[in-house]
């Protein structure tokens, strides 16, 4: 990685302007509690795109960063240090243009963690998967949620 920040807007090959010069990524953390899975989401602040909505922690990839590296880096910046026991269960890729994509990873951790670490996050919460749809969700996350939920259900045998 050469360290060049990917923060910034890009006019993508499909004509839409999106955040992340090199694409973007996020992480949905999950952990099993009393035989049931819980999902970590962050409530986006008014300073973030679609402020007040719930989504996974994530953001722009830096130059040379893999989507997983960038997603975990962004998560640690927004919700705190990611536990070292993290295991990737699967991912969903949204690629509306040839030169931009957003990868969302589902990552299992041994226990809950997280708090607002900067101006981008108002709150952090852990929710049962069936309760996620009751929240006011970020539009992009809402579109990906059915596939992300399927990864969780398949991993848990639910």
Q: Mind listing the pLDDT tens digit for each residue in 63-114?
A: 999 999 999 999 999 999 999 989 999 999 999 999 999 999 999 999 999 9
Is the sign of the CA dihedral 98, 95, 44, 32 positive or negative?
negative
Topology, domain 9-152: Nucleoside Triphosphate Pyrophosphohydrolase (3.90.79)
Taking the C-alpha atoms of residue 105 and residue 134, their distance in angstroms, rounded to an integer, is 21
Q: How far is CA 52 from CA 22, 23, 48, in A?
A: 26, 23, 9
Overall pTM surpassing 0.85 (yes/no):
yes
Q: pLDDT confidence of 1, banded at 50, 70, 90? A: very low
Task: Please check whether residue 141 is in contact with residue 85, taking contact to mean a CB–CB distance below 8 angstroms.
Answer: no
**The pLDDT of residue 50 is above 50:** yes
Q: How far is CA 144 from CA 46, 94, 95, 133, 139, in A?
A: 22, 8, 12, 12, 9
Task: Please check whether residue 28 is in contact with residue 107, taking contact to mean a CB–CB distance below 8 angstroms.
Answer: yes
Q: Where are the alpha helices (DSSP H) in the chain?
A: 67-79, 129-132, 139-156
User: For residues 155 and 17, which has the higher predicted lDDT (pLDDT)?
Assistant: 17
pLDDT one-digit tens code per residue, 105-152? 999 999 999 999 999 999 999 999 999 999 999 999 999 999 999 999
Closest alpha carbon to 62 in 103, 18, 2? 2
Q: How far is CA 72 from the centre of its chain?
A: 9
Sole residue written with tokens 């040839």:
98
């Amino acid at each position: 990685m050469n360290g060049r920040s990917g923060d910034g807007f890009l006019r993508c090959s499909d004509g839409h302007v999106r955040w992340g010069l090199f694409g973007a990524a996020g992480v949905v953390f999950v952990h099993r509690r009393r035989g049931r899975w819980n999902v970590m989401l962050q409530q986006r602040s008014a300073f973030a795109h679609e402020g007040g909505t719930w989504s996974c922690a994530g953001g722009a990839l830096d130059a040379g960063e893999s989507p997983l590296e960038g997603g975990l880096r962004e998560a640690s910046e927004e919700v705190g240090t990611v536990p070292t026991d993290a295991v990737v269960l699967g991912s969903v890729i949204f690629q509306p243009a040839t030169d931009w994509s957003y990868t969302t990873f589902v990552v299992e951790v041994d226990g809950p963690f997280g708090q607002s670490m900067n101006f981008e996050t108002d709150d952090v919460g852990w929710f049962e998967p069936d309760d996620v749809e009751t929240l006011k969700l970020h539009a992009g996350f809402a579109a990906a949620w059915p596939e992300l939920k399927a990864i969780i259900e398949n991993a848990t045998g639910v």
